[in-house]
Amino acid sequence: MRLPIARQKATMASVILLSLAQLSCAFAGSVEHYCASVGYEFFYDIARAQREFATFPLGKKYDVLICASHGTHPPRLEFASLFAGEGERGAVLLRENLLEAADDLTVRDIGYALLRMQELGTYDVHGDNQLMATLEHRVNGMKNGSWREVALDNLKRIRDR
């Protein structure tokens, strides 16, 4: 027995919405860890958030960096510039997290923070051969083609500086 066309469309729409909801929950679970230390409401007053960010220990700043990019809409990319101010000690932490990154978005966002370090002159990412090799390896291994293109562009911009 075939369902009427309207019923088929409604069923298909329900399946799509359920799939999107499941994807959203999976994504939220991956970013929840990073956002737990400040909460999403931290980003409601961005001027206050930026002032508070300066007082945080380095590990918490990293969590905010990832949460700001993954967990807010629109992404708050200015936190990459703020994190870039950490210079060498920030680059060391980014290298460690780059090695452990479990998803393409984190690799992309670490690469962007490294680009900001290079652009702002707070760390010579291009001159750090070990860091560049790690970044290139992780970017080339990204599964999501769109994010890999963004990350490759950031990598090129680091090389060109």
DSSP string, 59-91: HHHHHHHHHHHHSSSS--THHHHHHHTTHHHHH
pTM, entire model: 0.81
Q: How confident is the model at residue 34 (pLDDT cuts 50, 70, 90)?
A: confident
* Structural domain of 124: 31-159
Give the total number of structural domains in the chain: 1
In a domain, 102, yes or no: yes
In a domain, 22, yes or no: no
In a domain, 12, yes or no: no
In sequence order, the 6+-apart residues with CB closer than 8 A to the CB of 147 are: 104, 105, 107, 108
Tens digits of residue pLDDT in 103-137: 999 999 999 999 999 999 999 999 999 999 999 99
In a domain, 4, yes or no: no
What is residue 63's predicted lDDT score, i.e. its pLDDT? 96
In a domain, 149, yes or no: yes
In a domain, 19, yes or no: no
Tens digits of residue pLDDT in 55-100: 999 999 999 999 999 889 899 999 999 999 999 999 999 999 999 9
In a domain, 6, yes or no: no
In a domain, 17, yes or no: no
Whether 25 has a pLDDT exceeding 80, the answer reads: no
